[in-house]
Structures are given as structure tokens and as C-alpha cells.
Homo-oligomer: A and B are copies of this chain.
Amino acid sequence: MKIVNTLVLGSSILFSHAALASNWQPLPETAPAPKDNPTTAEKVELGKILYFDPRFSSTGTVSCNSCHNLMAGGEDQRPTSMGVHGKMGGRNAPTVWNSAFHSVQFWDGRANTLEDQAKGPVTNPIEMGMKDLDTAMERIKAIPGYAKYFEKAFGKNAITIDNAAKAVAAFERTLITPNSPYDRYVKGDKNAMTKQQVRGMNTFAATGCTACHSGPAFNGPTMPLGQGFYAKFPTFTDNEYVKKYDLMADLGRYEVKKSESDKHHFRVPTLRNITDTAPYFHNGKVAHLDEAVRIMAKTQLNKTLSDQEVKDIVAFLGALTGEYPTMTMPRLPATPGTTVLAE
């Protein structure tokens, strides 16, 4: 993080706008997959069904899609999520759209891959609340229609939690939103963004936001799976926002690593589709994007933006909202004449 912070503080010196402009990257239309889980149509099909199946939760009411809603911005628009029995999570649900472009998962990077991430919420008592992963898979095995999907994706006798996680991850790697106005702009369509958006793009860079929010997903440079790109938030604490939005309460990656140097470090989130993912930050305490921009400038770069600069950056961020693919609803496999959710 020392390197990042140096870049942040020195950004206006180190980069000219022209130099920065050459680093603007469009979103790829496909995501990389780990060697042991190449994406196949069969895995994607199974993963999509599992993603929408609430029977993975103890109550049968919470699916992946409950908190990472694909009919919206890939999250739930709540400050923090609500799991089984109305229990409240501690952090804001990150969007699943373009999550394949993160090199680690969760706000604190505690999962190296989407495969690892997929297993987490299932047994989290305030999320899907299953007793253990074996119990979850017993449920899936008790649903006869799943057998053929697992067999097509992984071969015979393959109904395991690892394969379920692989399928969900394979599906998630297809959740990409290309062709935003920004993408079309950097690919050469100079009319794709408004004048204000272009101005905001330059302000975004000149302010130093790109020190962390760089790369095709605006979540830092492309890195090998498992590495993670983190930033300390807040970096500057002597401002009104820290108390107002309770920014020091969550120790972030420290909770995983227990190392002083990880205190208040969080994975740098993507800014893709950020207009659709309010409220903002790890604690979801900021309801408006303009305020989030103001806070970021102050807490991360110790800068106070003018109202016009904030408006321009917000306009630019609006240009990062891409095209959500049209998706058909999956059919959840039936349990003819019975249910796995009887009390």
C-alpha cells in the first residue's frame, strides 16, 4: 500500500492528463477463468440455476440473487444485506456484475476466487444460514432434477459443494456489462460521452482517483487471482466525514489477517455501474453518489472538490454503466410431490 499511497499523493505531479488518457481501458467482453475451472456452457447453465435457488438457504428464502440481484445492479440497494430470519449483515453487498475482474473477493479479500466466495454465504448464520456445507448439498441431492445438470457439467456422481461452487463461479464470469458510454468513448466513439462526462473524466484523473480506481473495471491494475488490490479507507481521518459516516468502525482486512498494517484496508471496489449500486462504501452508510465522491476525495486524497467538480465526476461515473445482458429465467428443478423445505 505504500506504493499506492505515494501515487495518490503524487498523482497530479506524476501524470499529465494525456498520459492518463492513454491508460483508459475498456471492459473486456470475457473474463479470465482459473485453470481448474474453465468456463463451459454446461457449468454456466447449472450455475445460473443454483444462483437463483433459495433452497440453498435454511429458510428457503435467500438465494445468491437475493443480495446480488441480477435484475438490478447486482446487489440489493440496502446499506447492509438481510439474510435468513431477517438477520442483518455487517457490510454492504458488493455487486456481482463484473466481479470476475476482481483478483480477490469480499470487501476484505478473504476469498481468492469466485469459487471460494460462493461457499461463504451458504453457511454464514446471518446470510443463508445452513448448518454446514454437507447439509446444503444434501438438499441439492434431494432435488432430483439437479442430477442431470451436474452430470452434464461435471460427469457422473459429481454433486459436490466444490462443483456447485465451480458452476456458480462459471456463471458469474459471464456477468459482464460491456459497451458503457465510457467503453465506446475510449474505443473511439467521441460522441459516446457528453462534454460534462469528458470533463468529469479529466477531473477524475487530475484529482488522483485513478491511483486506485484504474484498469478496465476501475478497481486497480489487472492482477493474478488471489493477489488483491487494497487501499486504506479512510487514509485521511481529520475530516467531518469519518465520524458522520462511522468510517473507523470496520477494521477491514485486519479481521482476516490480524496484522496492524491491514487495519482499515479494503479491496478497491469496481466503479462499473456505480450509479446502480447505492448506497455506498463497505458500510453502506452513504446514500448518494455525489456525497460518496466528496468523501473519497477528502478521505483518500485530502482534497476538497468544488460542487462543479463533484457534478462532473458523478456525470462521468454515470458513463461507466454498461449494457446488462438480457437473461432468461432459469427453471428451478422440482421435487415432485414434496418439498425440501418442510419444517
Q: What is the interface of chain A, defined by CB distance below 8 A to chain B?
A: 52, 54-55, 59-61, 66, 69-73, 76-79, 82, 84-87, 275-276, 278-279, 287-290, 314, 317-318, 321, 324, 326-332, 334-343
Q: List 23 A-B contacts (CB under 8 A).
A: A59-B82, A61-B82, A69-B332, A70-B329, A71-B329, A71-B332, A73-B334, A78-B339, A79-B341, A79-B342, A79-B343, A275-B337, A276-B336, A278-B337, A278-B339, A279-B338, A279-B339, A287-B342, A289-B337, A289-B338, A324-B331, A326-B328, A327-B328
Taken together as a complex, chains A and B put the C-alpha atoms of A60 and B84 apart, in Å, by 14
Q: Is the CB of B328 within 8 A of A329?
A: yes
Q: Min CB distance, A175 to chain B, in Å?
A: 12
Write out the residue numbers on chain B whose beta carbons fall within 8 Å of the beta carbon of A73.
334
| Contact A336-B59, Cβ < 8 Å, known A86-B86, A329-B70, A329-B328 | no
Taken together as a complex, chains A and B put the C-alpha atoms of A328 and B330 apart, in Å, by 9
A76's contact among B61, B82, B84, B334, by CB below 8 Å, is which? Answer: B61
Write out the residue numbers on chain B whose beta carbons fall within 8 Å of the beta carbon of A332.
69, 71-72
Q: Is the CB of A78 within 8 A of B59?
A: yes
Write out the residue numbers on chain B whose beta carbons fall within 8 Å of the beta carbon of A290.
337
Q: Is the CB of A318 within 8 A of B337?
A: yes
The 6 closest A-B pairs by CB, nearest first: A289-B337, A86-B86, A85-B86, A287-B342, A278-B339, A275-B336
| Contact A336-B318, Cβ < 8 Å, known A85-B86, A341-B78 | yes
A77's contact among B84, B86, B340, by CB below 8 Å, is which? Answer: B340
Copies of this chain, tallied across the complex: 2
> In the complex, given contacts A61-B78, A318-B337, what are 19 additional A-B residue pairs having Cβ atoms less than 8 angstroms apart?
A54-B69, A54-B76, A59-B78, A61-B66, A72-B332, A78-B341, A84-B86, A275-B334, A276-B334, A278-B338, A278-B339, A278-B342, A288-B337, A317-B337, A318-B336, A321-B336, A326-B328, A328-B328, A329-B329
Q: Name which of A77, A86, A327 has the most chain B CB atoms within 10 A of its CB.
A: A77
Taken together as a complex, chains A and B put the C-alpha atoms of A341 and B52 apart, in Å, by 22
Q: Is the CB of B327 within 8 A of A329?
A: yes
Which chain B residue lies CB-closest to A286?
A: B342
